[in-house]
Amino acid sequence: MEVLDTAALLSWPLEMLMQGICANSQLNEVQRLSPARHLMLEAQGPRFESPNPAAIAVATEASQETGDFSGLSSVDLDVLALAFSTGHTLVTDDYRMQNVCSHRGHPWRGVIQDGVREIRSHALSCVGCGSVHRQGEVCPDCGSPLTLRRV
């Protein structure tokens, strides 16, 4: 069993998806990107689950620790939460998700690409006053934009 990111759902043959676990929220993403693929996945795809709130909190905290939180969608957090709660390998080409898994010591592998080679930490820093924040697009201190920088 493996937890599959949307890239696997869209690119792998259906028989490779049968033993996978995915987040329910991924169905909407697949439907938006490929309605035909969505129908096939619903009929004969992987198992779909919703992560529990405690697992989402763990995924959120882990992504905030690496500074990747601002670049992850709610679907990404659901997929990370499923991987962390089940203990199964995460299959993703998303570097941010790979980075969070590496930081936590959680197994992952790429869908098509090799993936990250080192763990990176990022921080949202204000272009105006230089303060560092965990989330947001605008600095609450001075109102300037926040940009993601490698720490």
CATH number of the domain where residue 6 is located: 3.40.50.1010
Is residue 126 included in any domain, yes or no? yes
Q: Write down the pLDDT at residue 113.
A: 61
- Residue-averaged pLDDT of the chain: 87
pLDDT at 122 over 80: no
Q: pTM for this structure? A: 0.74
Q: Which of 37-41, 122-126, 142-146 comes out lowest in average pLDDT?
A: 122-126
Worst-scoring range by mean pLDDT, 22-36, 92-106, 133-147?
133-147
Q: Residues with Cβ < 8 Å from 64, sequence gap 6 or more?
A: 134, 135
Q: Residue 20's pLDDT is what?
A: 93
Contact 118, 100 (CB under 8 A): no
- Asked if residue 141 has pLDDT above 90, the reply is no
User: Does residue 64 share a domain with residue 102?
Assistant: yes
In a domain, 67, yes or no: yes
Q: What is the spatial distance between Cα 20 and Cα 40, in angstroms, rounded to a whole number?
A: 15
Domain-located, residue 115: no
- Domain, as residue range, for 140: 121-151
Residues 81 and 129 reside in one and the same domain: no
Beta bridge partners of 149: 123
Can you give the length of the chain in residues? 151
Q: Looking at the 3D structure of the chain, how many domains does it have?
A: 2
Same domain, 31 and 90: yes
Residue 116 covered by a domain:
no
CA of 2: how far to CAs of 11, 69, 82, 124, 147, in Å?
A: 16, 23, 10, 31, 33
